[in-house]
Amino acid sequence: MKHLLAIADLSPAEFNQILATAKKLKAEWRKGGNKAILKNKTLGMVFQKPSLRTRVSFDMAMLHLGGQALYLSPNEIGLGQRESVADVARVLSRYVDGIMARVFAHAHVVELAQHARVPVINGLSDYEHPCQALADVLTIIEHQGQLKGLKVAFVGDGNNVARSLMLACALGGAHFVCASPKGYTLDEAAVARARALAATSGGSIELTEEARAAARDADVIYTDVWASMGQESESAERARVFPPYQVNAALVALAKPSAIVMHCLPAHRGMEITDEIVDGPHSVVFDQAENRMHAQKAILAILLGSKTPKK
């Protein structure tokens, strides 16, 4: 494991190693603090998109593990505009021990990894959000005891979060159902990849246009914003199409009594999810937010903890 660019790139062993390490580091942190296993290590954080959870969770993860994080704003780099992606990768590799990039185009994070001499982590791209999916799986296991065999229902846009969650569920042997309106479903290539993984793990992948069918007897109901950053011009049309996919009390009532409700945040309350669900007894939304830090500690420990050159 030289980089973390996509859930699809992980082997089952790497996937399980990250989760086990995250669990261990979280327990250690709660007992009084983590060991400084990344002392004198620095993470360069490249941002094209603003963020609360990604920035703070990576910053705190490095701090807790004894390292430092350096925030680089969109104006400071101009990735692919002011300076080529390849040159940014080459320069940063001379300064830092790892690069985290939160970008629009997935191709940018792939190109960073191709030219960097240090590990590159995808903090979010338009195609995948692997750090979020790993935090999500950690949260599911904490609350439901396991991932394998669970019905995980994603209700809403077949976006980067849905794609990474689907692939993580496929790796972990869950039964993933995605309910999206026509024209907003997950892409065929990612679904085919997930189905191939699920065939090995004992999981399954299902797509539907029926939110109620997805939610029925679900162990997990997950949703995200209807229009992501970069899709602002589509907001009005999406607001017209997506209301039947709102996660509300009526939808959650179809799930198992023990079901948990998830959202990667920020939430548009009253749109994709109601206040009573975000703040209600089924919600684990803020546990998810915390677990971003713990999952990312595991990723950092695995990628930056070794002194062996990564490339």
Q: Which residues have a catalytic role annotated? A: 102, 129, 132, 224, 264, 292
Taking the C-alpha atoms of residue 166 and residue 177, their distance in angstroms, rounded to an integer, is 8
Q: Which residue has the tokens 């930056």?
A: 304
CB distance 108 to 83 below 8 Å: no
Residue type, 72: L
Cis ω before 244 (30° cut-off from 0): no
Q: Report the alpha-carbon distance of residue 39 to residue 62 in Å, rounded.
A: 9
Give the list of residues 6+ apart from residue 171 with CB closer than 8 angstroms, or none.
7, 10, 12, 15, 197, 201
8 A C-beta contact, residue 167 and residue 196: no
- Give alpha helix (H) positions in the chain: 12-30, 53-64, 74-77, 85-95, 106-115, 130-144, 160-172, 188-201, 211-215, 235-241, 249-252, 275-278, 285-304
d(CA 169, CA 14): 14
Task: Give Cα separations from 75 to 52, 252, 257 (angstroms).
Answer: 18, 42, 48
